Structure 1
Amino acid sequence: MKMQDSVSWNIILHGLLDQDAFEEGLQLYTQARRIGFDPNTSTLLLLIQAYRSLRAFDEGLKFHGYLIRGGLWSLKSVQNSLLCMYTEIGMEYAENLFEELYEKDVISWSVMIRGYVHHDEILFALNSFNKMATDVGIEADGQTMVSILKGCTNLGDIRLGKSFHGFSLLRGLNYDLFVGNALVDFYCNCTDVASAIRVFSEMYHKNLVTWNSLLCGFVHNEMYPEAFTLFSSMEKSGFVADEVTLVNLIQSCKVVGVLRQCNLIHSKVIQQGFQSNEFAMNSLIDAYGKCNQINYACKVFCQIKRPDVVTWGTMISGFTHCGMPDEAVSVYREMRASVDKSSPVTLLNLIEACALSAELRISNWAHGIAITMGLASHVVLGTAILDMYSKCGAIVECRRVFDQISMKNVVSWSAIISAYGLNGLPRDALSLLSEMKASGFKPNSVTTLSVLSACCHGGLVDEGLSIFNDLANNGAEMKLEHYSCLVDLLARSGHLVDALDIIKHIPVGMNPSASAWGALLSACRNYEDSEFTDRALSQILELEPTSTAGYLLASNIYAARGSWVDAFGMRSLVKRRGIKVVPGFSLVHASNNAYRFAAGDLNHPLSHMLCPVIEQLHLCMKKEVRATTFVS
């Protein structure tokens, strides 16, 4: 164009800025300023939006000065747009500008309220709303209510949120789509799903955000079957899932562990073309891993051209969850060759894999990586390393790692107590509890469980009962697993009547678990009490009908008594119900290696060497028992 006037400049600038080409638009605006360009109001608003989107706040301040000098500052829309920009910088800047405004409309107040909520200054937002509605007399609009409901969501105050819900109904704002979405989100986050469903069903108009808000609420509140049902209704209503929908459904698949559902959502990801969405693909890998379908997870992983650190870490976690620590370690080695640097989360995944393998040599290698990265003294990774060495039976290393943690917390103290208890040092575990209290830390439910478990493994009945009563009387939170552990402690030592009495007096709202009855049943194997055996077995089979533990334990008890018909009946029941039997195994450490021997596995490379030795040991044990019996 030979003649470029203000109209043509406004058109080209408006086109660029409206299409979010902010950098190019601002460069062109600077060029236009040199020739005396006079922007219109629409262009001014887009320029302020560009400075805000690019977070070019210094240039935005200069532009504010230009508006004042050019006499453009008095435009209400320009003032509110600048106010919106200043809320991004900090509320003190916005407050100064807000006080300078001669006339404040509902948009000005809404911008301030939204800014306070964005900066998590909820009380200031509530005070501003109250002042706007009462002192100034300006009626709130839908955007104001969305911001204030978001503030109530952040506070988690359901009573306050319900009052604003009532305010919305009085003002007729419940017909506003965005207010409805905010209400659904609020109730879901406050765990009042019934109210969220009621709001959802009463909405005249719904969009994809509406469906996703309720779907997220179902997943957040662990209502996974309801999430899948809602997704089906959503598709029937003509809405197409986006990445938010699919990721939430994948999270549900991960918890439910149903392969069919996971495959269905995977097909939706492919149909919608989200294979390049890293979050969706990582979620799929994680879900397949949690469903114990590591082959599917590997296929998804191989489809990603450039996996990032999160993808690698998810794959490592999947192998660990599926009981394949060696493969997890191999993936970590491959990752280090492909990615410039690891992340603390990925290292944590590696440490979990090493804890599962229980190989000291590999664990030392992982510990060395943590030291190299400068993370070994960090409380989270340090505690994980401590737990890893505990699984390896290296209690000296556990204590060394614990002492090197710079900022210990209750979790790290609980971990070291648990480590000593699991490795046959219950007295040391009790000493650490006293040391923990002296350091100013109050035991929590995890600590209590660690101490009780240590007493249980060490046969310290009196100490365990004393600690349980002491912690309970001092306000420590007692959960079902603590009572189950106490039952196990009493049952192991032969106090079957006392153990049953504990089960009977578990507080209201806590139904005795299968682990508590299992502890009682296990004790019956040693103390041969048929009345307790039958009672405990019936409870276990009712609580966990698909778990092999109760069936096999009962079968062994019957076999030990010579009741071969009953023993065979238990084994037959397992087969008829199609319950998969997972064989037990022994883990033997030798020369920094861990050797796993499954029960009945004669194909192990070392079986031909060990079986004769074990038979000799068995004969020696029998001779020792006979000799002891004869002497006594």
Structure 2
Amino acid sequence: MARRGVAPDRTTLAVLLKACGGLEDLALGVQIHAVAVKTGLQMDVRAGSALVDMYGKCRSLEDALRFFHGMGERNSVSWGAAIAGCVQNEQYTRGLELFVQMQRLGLGVSQPAYASVFRSCAAITCLSTARQLHAHAIKNKFSADRVVGTAIVDVYAKADSLVDARRAFFSLPNHTVQACNAMMVGLVRTGLGAEALQLFQFMTRSGIGFDVVSLSGVFSACAEVKGYFQGLQVHCLAIKSGFDVDVCVRNAILDLYGKCKALVEAYLVFQEMEQRDSVSWNAIIAALEQNECYEDTIAYLNEMLHYGMEPDDFTYGSVLKACAGLQSLEYGSVVHGKAIKSGLGLDAFVSSTVVDMYCKCGMITEAQKLHDRIGGQELVSWNSIISGFSLNKQSEEAQKFFSEMLDIGVKPDHFTYATVLDTCANLATIELGKQIHGQIIKQEMLGDEYISSTLVDMYAKCGNMPDSLLMFEKAQKLDFVSWNAMICGYALHGQGFEALEMFERMQQANVVPNHATFVAVLRACSHVGLLDDGCRYFYLMTSRYKLEPQLEHFACMVDILGRSKGPQEALKFIRSMPLEADAVIWKTLLSICKIRQDVEVAETAASNVLRLDPDDSSVYILLSNVYAESGKWVDVSRTRRLMRQGRLKKEPGCSWIEVQSEMHGFLAGDKVHPRSREVYEMLNNLIVEMKLSGYEPASALFAEVDEEGSTSEQDSQDDLVGVGGD
């Protein structure tokens, strides 16, 4: 056309400029602009609007706006093109400002303008503005438009306002694939995977159809609900439709299989991929880490680097978690060094994962130093150090860091609250637990499944079973963690029958118990002396639930048999076990021998404990107590002498008590507490009252016995100080 000297008209120019915008060919677009100037068509409103649109799509926003503001005549199409250009170039606020200016001029709003401003609101999560625009669209009868309606659903879904999103979605006269996709993404984002699956069924059954975005969303929904078999069905559908070759769909399938612990399937999908991007590598690396294949996780990082792929923060986060799982500081340091070299050393996610890795390797001081170096308002770093202290049994330090975090204005999330509640359970600091409970209510997080189960556990371990039961009954969803917390709580506080009743309720609710559940159930049977029930539940583990008993379960059975039938029966049970008994089982038997005064079995148990753990000083204490109960004072003296010769010392008992929101700690024989004189006076009074009531202290309480068999009552008194308080 140009060679023949035929001048383009405004329609031809508009078509050519649209093609340049679609190809993002700025150089050709500039040439056509020159032709428009030469022919005088740039002053035409249609051609001018096409020029604004072309510059915007070619990522030359300043040129687009410069030409737009220089136009002699502008209509709603011109304004729509300028607004769309701002959105396409991520200048969302400028796009909204242009929309406001357009309204002030009294110009009618076009479909593209509405769609663009809703996308702006979605990008910057501006819910209040979105609602105002939605009302404006309804007034101008654009809300039912296919494109605008989809944009409205999308903005509400991305702002996690699902009530508004559902209302907008169901008000659409026709549901398109795009509208359904927007709704599905919102459901998956907010953890409503089951509802997202229902939506996908609606799409397939009603003939709406689906695309790669739909499949990616539904695979994420399957991963959310751990729906392995549902995922398999959708995978078959993806293959049948030919969409499975899309890299985004393959990545979503990889993620699904990884989260569903189907590592073989994940590996096969990865190996069959002809095209892999960084998301593909991240998905397989995360799958390996989630399935505890830690060494393979590290190996795949090296393979990723070998193929020239650049790891990102997510990659390093997964690999550092694997190093933490291996408790390998050596590997962790190397991976951390690679992250630093790639410029991600100060990334909040990577740094917090390094903090977590140090904590799990027992290097809590180094973790604290790194956290202090990061500083700032990053919640993920605070969560890592708080959980690290909790993991390393430094609950008081965890609570101090929680207070420090609040002081600098960092807002906790559900993970923070759950971790600190766990420390309250460990220290039995119920007052702090109640304060955190109040904060959770204020933050409207009580519906969180993780938090509700932690509250049940906290109140139970603090001895407040009524409040624990109240939280249990109020929970919106009960998982096995909540049931276990109640059963363990009742068992811990000697309420064996209540624990067993709760277990029966758990079975009636079709909640599958795990190993921890049966440990609590067997302990409950031990507390109330239910031998037959204990044996029945022990058998139930394998017969109904296919759970192989672990050493903790065997220890409980030893305790049950020892208390009910005596140490000899318990010893027979130990010798018939398919697993080799550990020191805990032999010490359990040794403790029973003290009650039954069975010296022969006690000596057998003690020798086995020392064989497994020669440095365990407690076995000498337990054995000497058995001798003392049987009146064998010479053996008591000999055992104590052996302990001294081995340079073994008993760890002093330590206890805490919370009084008026203040924690008081006591060691056995403690004279350091500022009110120790009052504590000892109270203790002496209690001992006198106990003796007047007919109580005689057990011989085994006496800490030292000389060669002639004399005892020291002061030492027994010191051992009791750990329960003192105001």
Give the TM bin, normalised by the shorter chain.
Answer: 0.7 to 0.9
In terms of mean alpha carbon deviation, does 251-260 or 519-528 score higher?
Answer: 519-528
Residue aligning to 1:15: none
The normalised TM-score by structure 1 is 0.76
Secondary structure, aligned partner of 2:42: coil
Residue aligning to 2:49: 80
Query: Quick one: distance in 2 between partners of 1:159 and 1:440?
Result: 25
CA deviations 1:580-614 (Å, max 9, x no partner) are 569589xxxxxxxxxxxxx976699xxxxxxx975
Residue aligning to 2:524: 557
Query: Quick one: distance in 1 between partners of 2:306 and 2:92?
Result: 47
Spell out the pairing of 1:475-494 with structure 2 (5 A cutoff).
477=443, 479-480=445-446, 485=454, 488=457, 491-492=460-461
Query: Quick one: distance in 2 between partners of 1:224 and 1:321?
Result: 20
Query: Quick one: distance in 2 between partners of 1:555 and 1:58?
Result: 78
Look up the equivalent residue of 2:395 and give its one-letter code.
P
Contact kept in structure 2, 1:513 and 1:543, CA below 8 Å? no
1:615 shift after superposition:
6.7
Which residue of the other structure, out of 308, 322, 328, is the alignment partner of 2:297?
328
Query: Quick one: distance in 2 between partners of 1:156 and 1:403?
Result: 32
Structure 2: runs of 5 or more not aligned = 553-576, 583-606, 629-699, 702-726
Residue aligning to 1:294: 263
CA deviations 1:291-327 (Å, max 9, x no partner) are 1111111111110235343322211211221232233
Q: How many residues align?
A: 573
Query: Quick one: distance in 1 between partners of 2:260 and 2:187?
Result: 20
Which residue of the other structure, out of 162, 187, 212, is the alignment partner of 1:191?
162
**Is residue 528 from structure 1 mapped to residue 528 from structure 2 by the alignment?**
no
Distance 1:148 1:469, change over 3 A: closer
1:256 shift after superposition:
2.0
In terms of mean alpha carbon deviation, does 439-448 or 36-45 score higher?
Answer: 439-448
Which residue of the other structure, out of 70, 80, 85, is the alignment partner of 1:100?
70
Look up the equivalent residue of 1:146 and give its one-letter code.
A
Contact kept in structure 2, 1:518 and 1:540, CA below 8 Å? no
**Is residue 625 from structure 1 mapped to residue 655 from structure 2 by the alignment?**
no
**Is residue 545 from structure 1 mapped to residue 503 from structure 2 by the alignment?**
no
Distance 1:166 1:358, change over 3 A: same
Contact kept in structure 1, 2:339 and 2:345, CA below 8 Å? yes
CA deviations 1:551-599 (Å, max 9, x no partner) are 44212321454312222343455556546569589xxxxxxxxxxxxx9
Residue aligning to 2:324: 355
Look up the equivalent residue of 2:622 and give its one-letter code.
V
In terms of mean alpha carbon deviation, does 377-386 or 612-621 score higher?
Answer: 612-621
Query: Quick one: distance in 1 between partners of 2:346 and 2:121?
Result: 38
Contact kept in structure 2, 1:443 and 1:476, CA below 8 Å? no
Query: Quick one: distance in 1 between partners of 2:176 and 2:135?
Result: 23
Contact kept in structure 2, 1:552 and 1:570, CA below 8 Å? no
Distance 1:547 1:332, change over 3 A: farther
1:130 shift after superposition:
5.7
Query: Quick one: distance in 2 between partners of 1:231 and 1:510?
Result: 25
Spell out the pairing of 1:20-59 with structure 2 (5 A cutoff).
32=3, 38-53=7-22, 55=24, 57=26
Contact kept in structure 2, 1:445 and 1:478, CA below 8 Å? no
Contact kept in structure 2, 1:429 and 1:454, CA below 8 Å? yes
Spell out the pairing of 1:171-186 with structure 2 (5 A cutoff).
171-173=140-142, 176-186=145-155
Distance 1:172 1:359, change over 3 A: closer
Query: Quick one: distance in 2 between partners of 1:473 and 1:303?
Result: 49
Secondary structure, aligned partner of 2:40: coil
In terms of mean alpha carbon deviation, does 97-106 or 537-546 score higher?
Answer: 537-546
Query: Quick one: distance in 2 between partners of 1:514 and 1:578?
Result: 14
Residue aligning to 1:113: 83
Query: Quick one: distance in 2 between partners of 1:478 and 1:167?
Result: 31
Secondary structure, aligned partner of 1:39: coil
Query: Quick one: distance in 1 between partners of 2:433 and 2:195?
Result: 43
**Is residue 247 from structure 1 mapped to residue 216 from structure 2 by the alignment?**
yes
Larger Rg: 2
Look up the equivalent residue of 1:521 and give its one-letter code.
I
Contact kept in structure 2, 1:418 and 1:453, CA below 8 Å? no
1:416 shift after superposition:
1.9
Secondary structure, aligned partner of 2:43: coil
Query: Quick one: distance in 2 between partners of 1:338 and 1:602?
Result: 47
Indicate the structure whose relative CO is greater, using CA pairs within 8 Å and at least 6 residues apart: 1
Residue aligning to 1:423: 392
CA deviations 1:313-348 (Å, max 9, x no partner) are 211211221232233233333333333543332121
1:539 shift after superposition:
6.2
Residue aligning to 2:666: none
Query: Quick one: distance in 2 between partners of 1:360 and 1:532?
Result: 45
Contact kept in structure 2, 1:483 and 1:506, CA below 8 Å? yes
Contact kept in structure 1, 2:414 and 2:445, CA below 8 Å? yes
Query: Quick one: distance in 1 between partners of 2:392 and 2:27?
Result: 61
Secondary structure, aligned partner of 1:546: coil
Spell out the pairing of 1:144-155 with structure 2 (5 A cutoff).
144-154=113-123
Distance 1:199 1:554, change over 3 A: same
Distance 1:476 1:393, change over 3 A: farther
Spell out the pairing of 1:63-462 with structure 2 (5 A cutoff).
64=33, 66-87=35-56, 93-118=63-88, 128-129=98-99, 132=102, 135-136=105-106, 138-154=107-123, 161=130, 164-165=133-134, 168=137, 171-173=140-142, 176-189=145-158, 190-192=161-163, 193-200=165-172, 202-203=173-174, 207-339=176-308, 341-405=310-374, 409-433=378-402, 446-457=415-426, 459=427, 461-462=428-429
Query: Quick one: distance in 1 between partners of 2:129 and 2:113?
Result: 15
Secondary structure, aligned partner of 1:73: helix
Look up the equivalent residue of 1:76 and give its one-letter code.
V
In terms of mean alpha carbon deviation, does 251-260 or 552-561 score higher?
Answer: 552-561
Look up the equivalent residue of 1:260 and give its one-letter code.
F
RMSD of the TM alignment (CA)?
4.3
Query: Quick one: distance in 2 between partners of 1:302 and 1:160?
Result: 46
Distance 1:603 1:266, change over 3 A: farther
Q: Percent identity?
A: 22
Contact kept in structure 1, 2:456 and 2:471, CA below 8 Å? no
Distance 1:627 1:478, change over 3 A: farther
Look up the equivalent residue of 1:300 and give its one-letter code.
V
Residue aligning to 2:722: none
Contact kept in structure 1, 2:453 and 2:472, CA below 8 Å? no
Look up the equivalent residue of 2:336 and give its one-letter code.
H
1:442 shift after superposition:
6.2
In terms of mean alpha carbon deviation, does 278-287 or 49-58 score higher?
Answer: 49-58
Query: Quick one: distance in 2 between partners of 1:526 and 1:214?
Result: 46
**Is residue 616 from structure 1 mapped to residue 599 from structure 2 by the alignment?**
no
Secondary structure, aligned partner of 1:339: coil
